[in-house]
Chain A
Amino acid sequence: MCFIYFVVMCFFSIVSFFMSLNFMILDYELMLEFEVMSINSCGILMTFLFDWISLLFMSFVLFISSMVILYSDEYMLGDMFLNRFIVLVCLFVLSMMLLIVSPNLISILLGWDGLGLVSYCLVVYYQNIKSYNAGMITALSNRVGDVALLMSIAWMVNYGGFNYIYYVDVSKMDYEMGLISWLVVLAAMTKSAQIPFSSWLPAAMAAPTPVSSLVHSSTLVTAGVYLLIRFNFALSDNLMWFLLFVGSLTMFMAGLGANYEFDLKKIIALSTLSQLGLMMSILALGEYKLAYFHLLTHALFKALLFMCAGCVIHNLNNCQDIRFMGGLVMQLPLTCTYFIVSNLSLCGLPFLAGFYSKDLILEVLSMNYLNLYIYLVFFLSTGLTVCYTFRLIYYVVVGDFNYLSINMVKDSSFIMLKGMMGLIFFVIMGGSMLVWLMFSTPYFICLPFMMKIMALIVSLLGGWVGYELSQFSLTSSLSSLNWLESSVFFSSMWNMPFIFTFGMNYYPLILGKKIYMMIDQGWSEHLGSQNIYFNMKNSSKFFQIMYNNNLKIFLLLTFLWVIFMFLYI
């Protein structure tokens, strides 16, 4: 079954790739509009937008999905629910397609919610407590974004149409319309796991590795960036600064966190987070094409990186702690080769895929007039990327094997290797291919020599620091133990999982308890339900007495009448 899906997706990927090339050359955009239904001359239309951006992204998503499905044929072998798994992956791809080709906020919401739901189902695929917790945090964090998108749809009613594509240019001029951009940015921040919402991405690593490869590294998390690429003309200056700040902080925080992590998949997840921060930041500098370019190359090498990690985990019987690994290059030579190539691509080794996008981004950034903070954060994060990559290679690929003494680790999973082989070509060649396609006129870069080689310097420094930090001899003291408090702080993503789960719940829950005590059970009960009943009962009793036509009442009335008469006379 996996093979059939692989062939179909591969076919559609090639078709959409060539269509995107055609559209790119002809500078052509196609908008298809279907009338779903029409009542009283009010039409409900379904609109699809095909241009080179959407088609190229579609082809990449389909290509990676096809490889991942082929790969999961062996990775999920023996699993009881393989059918459910494949169906979920296909649903995910369909939601993604809907999101990519929609120029309409409502159909975007459909795709967006589909992504959220399917990713939840995939995170809780393994039914243990860890997965359930991770699934809940994933679903609830993404729900914030869904609500933001819903609110922007509601606000868009004011402008008479949901096709945002027509309003993108004008919305910057209007303060009230700018609200839509803010809400869309909020939605994109949740999906792309930017800073207040970052904790779900490492937690989502409880999903099976093919899912992490497809969903949580290359496609789903880039949906937020893709949405902002579409919206980028609508973003005001303030919004751009805000996004730049959040993106750069995310990039730095995740890069730092990855250096303290020991879970193989979580390290790669934090690396994804770091790259997402990079995409967001460069998008916030107005270079949406560069963000898109990095999105594509990142999707390629990160998918492969996850697939290699999956191969290692599969061979070590679900073990994903890097302290158990080491010397795997002897047992898994081909997997480790792919692993190193994709890692070096992530670092931006010249002429691999990551180099073209990352180097261009850093040089464009250096050309801009920005403050020292932005410059430092960008270059430090680049250094940190190389640092955790080298640490990862040091732990996994070289050294001594650290797992059980009786083991059976060898490169015999041919179907998984085939899936990886499909990607390795693009990880090596994809960057140059895309840069020639997408940028017909090259960027003009003019920098002083030191600034030009700064990327190289920080990379080399990062590599050296990564090596020095991870190797230790018998007598060397452990710096992470000596600096335990700061290590715990950095490893837990600056305490974000605590602040944005317990912190967000604790005070609102106390407030809720107070409100419940004082208002629900207190004043509203006293003045409302209980007292209304009491008063009604009393007044009914009174009227009941009145209805009795008692002689005393008439006598009383007569007496009162006499008193009033004397008073007025």
Chain B
Amino acid sequence: MASLPTGLVSHTRRVQSLYKKALRCLESWYDRREVYRYHAVLMRKRFDENKDIRDMRVAKDLIAQGEEEVFQKNHWHPRKFPESPGGVAYERVVIPPDWMVDHWHPLEKAQYPTYFAKREELKKKFVDEWTKKYGKPSPIAH
């Protein structure tokens, strides 16, 4: 997924991500594999043609143009795998995390006494094992 721009992005990484975006874009447009490969090779050639440019001003200009082109030619319905972010089945089945059970109301917990007794026992056992293995955690300095 997109990362937040928290640091400086090197030129090489910008070119790499542009290349990947361009290929994904081609994949959405050309859905037959051999046709996609043909266009992917053409795209690779376009990148290779400019790989030896040493003048950063030109290189920066080129990458800005490339990003604009990818944006302009973006597919209106990008090809996504169903369970990837943006796909149709993304986060379709939500499995609640285990700690949710600890937040149950005491009255709710009282309805399953054996389960919760066992659960508390297991939690204690887990903490014991953890301290045995790693030692007692040092107190956090505030």
Contacts and interface: CB of A to CB of B under 8 A. Distances in A.
Interface of A: 80, 126-131, 206, 260-263, 317-321, 323-324, 395, 399-400, 402, 472-474, 478, 480-481, 484, 487-488, 491-492
A262 B77 contact: yes
Which secondary structure dominates where chain A touches chain B? loop
Interface in B66-105: 72-73, 76-77, 79-83, 88-94
17 contacts: A126-B92, A128-B90, A261-B77, A262-B77, A318-B82, A319-B82, A321-B82, A323-B28, A323-B31, A399-B32, A400-B32, A472-B35, A474-B34, A474-B35, A478-B29, A481-B29, A491-B76
B88 A320 contact: yes
Contact of A318 (B34, B76, B88): B88
Counting from the closest, the 7 A-B pairs by CB-CB distance are: A323-B31, A318-B89, A318-B82, A128-B91, A126-B92, A262-B77, A319-B82
Given A130-B88, A318-B88, A318-B89, A474 B80 contact: no
Interface in B1-43: 28-35, 38
Contacts of A262: 77, 79
Given A474-B34, A478-B29, A481-B29, A127 B94 contact: yes
The listed residue with most A CB atoms (<10 A of its CB), out of B76, B80, B81, B90, is B76
A126 B73 contact: no
Given A127-B94, A128-B92, A478-B30, A320 B82 contact: yes
Given A323-B31, A473-B35, A481-B29, A487 B91 contact: no
Contact of B76 (A127, A131, A321, A488): A488
A249 B101 CA distance: 53
Given A128-B89, A131-B92, 17 more contacts: A126-B92, A127-B91, A127-B92, A127-B94, A261-B77, A263-B77, A318-B89, A319-B88, A320-B88, A321-B82, A323-B28, A399-B32, A400-B33, A472-B32, A474-B34, A481-B29, A491-B77
A52 to B, nearest CB: 41
B76 A481 contact: no
B33 A402 contact: yes
Contacts of A261: 77
Contacts of B28: 323
Chain B residues touching A, majority SS? loop
A492 B29 contact: no
B93 A492 contact: no
A127 B88 CA distance: 12
Contacts of B35: 472-474
Of A321, A399, A478, the most chain B CB neighbours within 10 A belong to: A321
B4 to A, nearest CB: 19
A474 B79 contact: no
Given A317-B82, A400-B33, A474-B35, A129 B77 contact: no
B92 A318 contact: yes
Nearest to A475: B38
A131 to B, nearest CB: 8
B54 to A, nearest CB: 33
A128 B92 CA distance: 5
A128 B82 CA distance: 13
A260 B88 CA distance: 18
A85 to B, nearest CB: 13
Contact of B79 (A321, A400, A481, A491): A321
Interface in B42-82: 72-73, 76-77, 79-82
A318 B33 CA distance: 21
A402 B82 contact: no
A80 B93 contact: yes
Contacts of A395: 31
B21 to A, nearest CB: 16
A401 B11 CA distance: 38
B79 A323 contact: yes
Contacts of B90: 128, 130
Nearest to A484: B73
Contacts of B79: 262, 321, 323-324
Nearest to A131: B92
A319 B77 CA distance: 14
A324 B89 CA distance: 15
Contacts of A80: 93
A321 B80 contact: yes
Contacts of B91: 127-129
A379 B88 CA distance: 34
A260 B28 CA distance: 13
A262 B76 CA distance: 10
